[in-house]
Structure 1
Amino acid sequence: MLNKIIKISFSVVGGITGFTLTNTILSLSNAQTGLMIQITMIILSAIFCGVLFYLAGDKTIELVTAVFDKTEKIVQNLSLYELAISSIGSIVGLIIANLIVIPIKNIAIIGLPLALFANVFFACIFFSIGLVVGKRNDSIIDSSKFAKNTAGSFSGKKLLDTCTIIDGRILDIVRTGCIDGNLIVPDFVLEELRLIADSSDSLKRAKGKRGLDILNILQKEFADIVSVKEFEGIEGNQVDDKLLKAAKKINSTVITIDMNLNKVASVHGVKVLNINDLSNAVKPVALPGDEMKIQVVKDGKEPGQGLGYLEDGTMIVVENGKNYIGQSISVTVTSHLQTSAGRMIFAKPN
């Protein structure tokens, strides 16, 4: 119904355009033709232009819809600062355009179309200029903020990778309020989650659905800081490659639990927050000489070793502990090893 109304409106505009154009041409040409012939020409021109505009209505509606959709996506991906600078650019462009068209807007027939074209052209050009300036200044502002932050601060934009969302601990971390700034889920990460959720493998499918559920909860509870962002022009065969390129493009931190991605990001100069590192950092510290009670559950890789675990999953390697398998014993910590993959404590029986 709406499309039909728009096409009829186009037809009316076309008829008026045909009428005005033909009438103006006849008036300027001083053609020695009869009144009936002039009226017939004007009516035929109005009908022809009306039909032409009506037929062009479909394509025009499609074009306008596509332009609005594209504009909406662009605006959604802009920060408030970028949008403000771009809007100022458009206003400046319109002012310049109207100053330029003052001498030509009164020219018959072509004056109004030229004025309209100049306004649209200069508004678009200066909007683009404002967008470029806004993005550049926004990056400078982000960089200056980043430079002021300490090594342990993670304010600003942060990109979430697929495994982090599936892992789910990011939800609890955000709830604590210890991470500020915006959490961004790139469109290609969301697509990978969807593909995993649609997998024929039941285990993968369960992980994918869990990830989508976690993301849904994040968006509901933290709608002001969690968003899905479409990245255009980001090329790469792997999602991790695209993620690093996107992080460099918007000068953001990547949140992950993937050790390999962590290492590659360091090579590319991308700042990373590894949730495993964060998890290990808040675990109780076991210092040499501390005593604890554990149950030795199996033998270790080296001869005579026994293995036990703390409640948080930390592995305890007990020297000469093989003989105590199945028993709860008191041990003394001799040393510990800390990595992003986890923590390992070495001890000996008391």
Structure 2
Amino acid sequence: MIGVGFGIVSFEILKYFQLFDGFSKTVISAINVSVVVGFAIIFFLLSKKVFRNIKTILDKLEEDLKEKAISEVISGTIGLIIGFIIAFFVSQPFYMIQVPYLGSAIGIIFYGVFGYLGLKLGLTNRDTLSVKFKDITSSLKNPVVKEKEKSKTSKMNGIPKILDTSVIIDGRIMDICDSNFLEGSIVVPVFVLEELQHIADSSDGLKRSRGRRGLDIIKEMQENKNLDIVIFQGKYDEISEVDSKLLQLTKDLNGKIVTNDYNLNKVAAVQGIDVLNINELANSVKPVYLPGEEMTVQIVKLGKEHGQGLGYLDDGTMIVVESGKNYLGETINAVVTSVLQTSAGKMIFAKPM
């Protein structure tokens, strides 16, 4: 059937260019039949191999689709449909060309090109499309809740600050928010809450207490009417790692990630994502002591070197007091002799007055 169709099309094109002028109707009919039969024989001989290859391609396509996530299939389909729609409007002027079947051939090319581009763009932006699709689905299922969430999200002020699990468990974020050093909305992703819940349900006592502490901190922050706390409901199911979800969410919201995780800080910096590191903030606001200044310190334990005593400031800065062994357990006045900056923070060396 395909060969017959091609034969008829070829003959009609030849007639359009008047290549058969001067021939009798009998000769034209004979040529017509010959062309049709010729194409029919050619495609009959090739059909077995052609359809075998088509079946192989379809089987491979089916196997590839089985390995794809549903989000990829949906986003690819959406991109393909959009590409076909664009191709439809772009190809319409070419159908006005008077050459038979030329407009159709150009239209097929446009459909192939724009369909492929739409498919690739859909797969490339599958994460964003997935989030949008989930938002639309959830709004259809529960429009009241979605409207509340949309209203709350629309009230975001400034640049959103996205909290990770470690900074919530750390607890200092609540004091920083109370001091109004962080402007804008504080975003807590739902997948971070789920991770906190898993930690709180752990059989390990220490992990369990840390998880519960994190959940309590979120609750206290929500009760603070001066804070704009937003619980982001997008789960990014197609991304497995929580840190990767945080980075993608930060990109989508054009926000900044708040963390004290060293590795997450480095990965975010590589991807060009702004990071607010709590540990860096704590180090930058530690009090500055210069040699010769006086301070009050409590000697709480012995140092590594002979006769040394150790004390600590409220922020955890270690103070090494020469000859402080004799003052163990006492609070004394000391004079700063030097300050050493290390990778772990500052160390202050002093001697009793």
* Other-structure match for 1:168: 171
So what's the TM-score if we normalise by structure 2? 0.51
From 263, 268, 282, the equivalent of 1:265 is: 268
Determine whether 1:297 maps to 2:286.
no
For residues 150-229 of structure 1, the aligned pairs below 5 Å read 155-222=158-225, 225-229=228-232
Determine whether 1:252 maps to 2:255.
yes
66 and 212 in structure 1: CA distance in 2 versus 1, 3 angstrom threshold: closer
C-alpha separation between the residues in 1 aligned to 2:343 and 2:232?
Answer: 28
SS at match of 1:307: strand
C-alpha separation between the residues in 1 aligned to 2:152 and 2:301?
Answer: 58
**Residue 270 (structure 1) shift:** 2.1
65 and 74 in structure 1: CA distance in 2 versus 1, 3 angstrom threshold: closer
For residues 92-131 of structure 1, the aligned pairs below 5 Å read none
From 267, 275, 279, the equivalent of 1:276 is: 279
C-alpha separation between the residues in 1 aligned to 2:183 and 2:194?
Answer: 25
SS at match of 1:344: strand
**Residue 157 (structure 1) shift:** 0.7
C-alpha separation between the residues in 1 aligned to 2:252 and 2:237?
Answer: 9
C-alpha separation between the residues in 2 aligned to 1:65 and 1:312?
Answer: 48
Asked whether the equivalents of residues 236 and 245 of structure 2 are also in contact (C-alpha less than 8 Å), the reply is no
SS at match of 1:204: helix
**Residue 68 (structure 1) shift:** 0.9
**Residue 160 (structure 1) shift:** 0.6
Asked whether the equivalents of residues 257 and 275 of structure 1 are also in contact (C-alpha less than 8 Å), the reply is yes
* Other-structure match for 1:309: 312
For residues 9-48 of structure 1, the aligned pairs below 5 Å read none
Asked whether the equivalents of residues 234 and 246 of structure 1 are also in contact (C-alpha less than 8 Å), the reply is no
Asked whether the equivalents of residues 199 and 211 of structure 2 are also in contact (C-alpha less than 8 Å), the reply is yes
**Identity across the alignment (%):** 53
Which one-letter code corresponds to 2:335 in the other structure? Answer: T
**Residue 180 (structure 1) shift:** 1.2
C-alpha separation between the residues in 1 aligned to 2:162 and 2:343?
Answer: 19
CA deviation map 1:21-63 (0-9, x unaligned): xxxxxxxxxxxxxxxxxxxxxxxxxxxxxxxxxxxxxxxxxxx
Asked whether the equivalents of residues 276 and 342 of structure 1 are also in contact (C-alpha less than 8 Å), the reply is no
Find the structure with the greater CA-based Rg. Answer: 2
341 and 274 in structure 1: CA distance in 2 versus 1, 3 angstrom threshold: farther
* Other-structure match for 1:285: 288
Asked whether the equivalents of residues 259 and 340 of structure 1 are also in contact (C-alpha less than 8 Å), the reply is no
C-alpha separation between the residues in 2 aligned to 1:81 and 1:190?
Answer: 18
**Residue 163 (structure 1) shift:** 2.1
SS at match of 1:207: helix
CA deviation map 1:62-111 (0-9, x unaligned): xx98771387787777689999xxxxxxxxxxxxxxxxxxxxxxxxxxxx
261 and 215 in structure 1: CA distance in 2 versus 1, 3 angstrom threshold: same
Which one-letter code corresponds to 1:268 in the other structure? Answer: Q
Asked whether the equivalents of residues 318 and 348 of structure 1 are also in contact (C-alpha less than 8 Å), the reply is yes
List structure 1 segments (4+ residues) > 6 angstroms apart after TM superposition. 64-67, 70-77, 79-83
What is the count of residue pairs matched by the alignment?
218
Asked whether the equivalents of residues 305 and 317 of structure 1 are also in contact (C-alpha less than 8 Å), the reply is yes
**Residue 301 (structure 1) shift:** 3.8
Which one-letter code corresponds to 2:182 in the other structure? Answer: I
Greater shift after overlay, 304-313 or 205-214?
304-313
For residues 316-331 of structure 1, the aligned pairs below 5 Å read 316-322=319-325, 324-331=327-334
Which one-letter code corresponds to 2:222 in the other structure? Answer: Q
C-alpha separation between the residues in 2 aligned to 1:326 and 1:79?
Answer: 57
Q: What is the aligned-residue RMSD (CA, Å)? A: 3.7
C-alpha separation between the residues in 1 aligned to 2:152 and 2:313?
Answer: 48
**Residue 225 (structure 1) shift:** 1.9
SS at match of 1:286: coil
**Residue 189 (structure 1) shift:** 0.5
CA deviation map 1:273-299 (0-9, x unaligned): 222333344443222221123232323
Which one-letter code corresponds to 1:225 in the other structure? Answer: D
